[in-house]
Amino acid sequence: PTGKPFILTTWDFGPGANAVGWPMLASGASAIDAVEAAINHVELLGDYWVGAGGVPNEVGETTLDAMMMWGPTHDLGAVGCLKRVKKAISVARAVMEKTQHSLIVGDDATRFAARMGFTETTLTSVVSQQAWDKWAAKGERTNAFDPEPIRTAEALARHDTVGSIALDAAGNLCVGCSTNGREFKIPGRVGDSPIAGAGAYVDQAVGGAVATGNGDVMMRFLPTYHAVELMLGGMAPQAAAEAAIKRIEDAGYSIGGGIAVIRRDGVHGGAKTTGWEDTQFSYSVQTATGNVKVPVS
Ligand code: SD4
C-alpha cells in the first residue's frame, strides 16, 4: 500500500530534523535516506545526548548506539557502543544494507565502520570533557552500580535519544534512532536504542514507534514492539503509546521514559512516564501540510 509521506522525529530537535528529511520525501526519496539524513543532522549538532560531544562514560569516552529498521523487509542494522565514528545511524544503515548481520558492537563496530569507509575521529568535545572532569573531580564512582537512579532535574531537562519514523511516496516505512546513552555509564554498556522493539520498531503494514528514556529499564519491556503490536490488533496510536508506557509503570518502575508512535495513515500519538512529568518530551510530524510539534503530556 502507498500512503501520504510523513516524517516524525522526537524531542526539540524534531522540527530541524524533519526540515532535513521532509524535502527528501517530498521529492520521492526513500524513507531510509530521509531517516538517515534527519538523524545525521541531529548527530552532528553536538547536542549533549546524541552523537559526538555527548555524554561520556565512566572513563570519559563517548560511545554511540544506533539502529535502523526497514519496513518492507524487516531488515535491521544496529551498532552498540560504537567508538570514534560520528554518524552512528549511517554505520547502522551499512550493517543493514551491506551485511547479513543485525548488530555489531564496540571496537569491532569501529573496525567495521572503517572498512565501510567511515572516518575515525574523537567524539570528545569541550562540553563532554568538562562534564567528565567535573564529575571525576568529585571522586564518584558511576551510579550504575546503585539501585535505579532517580534522574536529576538537570538531566531531565535535556534532550535525549533522537528517533525518526518516515513513510515515503512509495509507501515504505523506515525507523531509526541514535544516542550516546547515559552519563557515566559503565564502559561497554549498550542501551535500548540499538535493540529492535526497544529503541525503535516498524511493521510495514501497521506503522512505527520510537522510544527514549531510561534504556536500561525500557529494553526489558520492548515498548516500541508492544505499541506496534497493539496497533496491529486495532488499537489507536495514542492508546497504544499509553499502554506501552503503562506496562513499565505497572511493573513498579519509576523511571523517565517516553514513546512516540505513528500509524501508516499518519495518525500519531505519544506517552511518557510520570517520572517525566516535568520533562518537556515532544515529537514533531511533518507532512505536505506542514510541521506540527506535539507536546506529550
Ligand atoms: C539509553 N534510551 O541509552 C537511551 C538514552 C536516553 O534518556 O534516551 N536516555 O538509555
Residues taking part in catalysis: 161
Residue with the smallest CA separation from ligand 1 atom 9 is 213
User: Which pTM value belongs to this model?
Assistant: 0.95
Q: Could you tell me which of 131, 140, 144 has the C-alpha nearest to residue 187?
A: 144
Task: Please give the share of the chain, as a percent, with pLDDT higher than 70.
Answer: 95
2 CA from centroid of ligand 1 (Å): 32
Q: Is the CB of 237 under 6 A from ligand 1?
A: no
Q: Is the CB of 192 under 6 A from ligand 1?
A: yes
Residue 149: which pLDDT band, with cuts at 50, 70 and 90?
A: low
pLDDT in tens, 189-213: 999 999 999 999 999 999 999 999 9
42 CA from centroid of ligand 1 (Å): 15
Residue with the smallest CA separation from ligand 1 atom 6 is 213
pLDDT in tens, 26-53: 999 999 999 999 999 999 988 778 888 8
- pLDDT higher than threshold 50 for residue 155: no
How much is the pLDDT for 55? Answer: 87
Sign of CA dihedral 208, 211, 216, 217: negative
Contacts of 248 (CB under 8 A, 6+ apart): 217, 218, 221, 223, 255, 257, 273
